[in-house]
Structure 1
């Protein structure tokens, strides 16, 4: 390289540093180096063309936003939020992200339906005190009555907690998740307090629910696992459950003897709610999230980056879940009985579009 070329590059570098790193104006640079302002402008233009100056627009959130968009398109969802964390995502970090989204989308005067589980409980704990005095918060299912059940994670308790944070009306009634038998469940559904609560739940504008993987430790089914239920889950190849209703890899509702005893919003009713937000993370819930999206059980999702990457990897590979339990996670739910999917598709689009 000739000396004149080296000198020219040196001047371009010097001018570029003064302008972009030290934030001097072109007029200030011109006075400093003894050139005209027009010459400084030309030097900066040449520095850009030569690749001496490269403009990079970035932010730590950029990668997360890209993942959210890919998930939204791949799962055909309306809303996706990925928790920003450094290191492993905690349930509290997931809850904070879900709480932020809920306060963003739930307008005053709407009805908010509340599910159950650890993720929804974390959402309730993280919810800021944002007054929504004309809002009603309603439970979507009854309370487990079995010994050892975590009452602070059941739907009525979380309904009360969220309503208190929003200064909203709480609509709940004391009824069990599972009745002793189908006849008792039918009688309970006819009681005014139960019927009114569940009718309101079915008319919710927004619902926030947990998405459960199929594992042996599902507490809400404790005491209700029978040989018939176990056989049904094996036949149906369930991958997840929402509001304690199990579904297969395509999101089709799995009907067992437990369903007749259950007091909870049905998958068909859940599918009619305009915005159902699922909150879940973990490798063992990837198939549950995919199945819920395929079955149109969710329209929104809150998860973490690691889980999001696993879901996107599954979408890229197109590999379906084979219905086998994860190692160390035997089935404990219900099985598909051949009935068609009950979810209501979103108008004008295929709910399975983009979902492998």
Structure 2
């Protein structure tokens, strides 16, 4: 395990961006303790059903807002009041903006009585939180996941928790450039094309190859456009036996420890009929094939030492460019263009398509 500073990523220990903090079912009317970005946090739903994330400790005397079962505020079901949350110790109440809006035994409320709050969006059955070391509001929109969630013919995903890995996020994002691992780890074959394109806050991986298990027959190709829009999660449009959309989320828990999830939406028909049990079974089988493929990566990450300076060869793919691109999220916003300008453009690692010079 190595830290952001050891990788030389920039000024911040944790990156700026949108990050998954759990499936929608993790948020309820009972406050839940969570920990990300080296901080203790609390996740809860207000009376409206809206999910909120706040710092865990009351500014009054430091009580944890979610780690209590014996306070009468908790036992009487009064901890969530409208959209506000009460401290179980003295009953101070904090609104969704973090400001204390009631103290049961005092009309005077100190101006410093407030909790840090974090922007939260619930989308595609997942709770997403904006993290910014500078404390600034989001400057990028949360992805819409190809527009497939709720689209006719597409079965929504289930969320696969893949573990808390003793691995920094940079080593996970390295996979975007890692041409060399696809054959021994994932069973790729009959390569046609592999390239990366860097476009501002996004990095794409374009991939066309056969596969031992995810293609129907010899000669078939998997065609993927895989990309990150920021450091927190991968998306991938995959054309194969079924069209599908992959999401892989990587969220820092501690500096050098990453929580990982996998999910897959599958297009099982054209949207002209209801889903059948067979449709659902096919989608789950396809999701499990994708999960098992990602689990091959996870096993490596869970058991490797930190690779601060990879001993790379040109045919590995553009690791250095990926790491430079990644640094934009660990430095102040006024330096973002500096890193983007150093990498923007297309890098082709392999091209065997008919009619190309390399074929």
Whether these two folds match at TM > 0.5 is: no
Q: Larger Cα Rg: Structure 1 or Structure 2?
A: 1
Q: TM-score range by the shorter chain?
A: under 0.3
When normalised by structure 1's length, the TM-score is 0.23
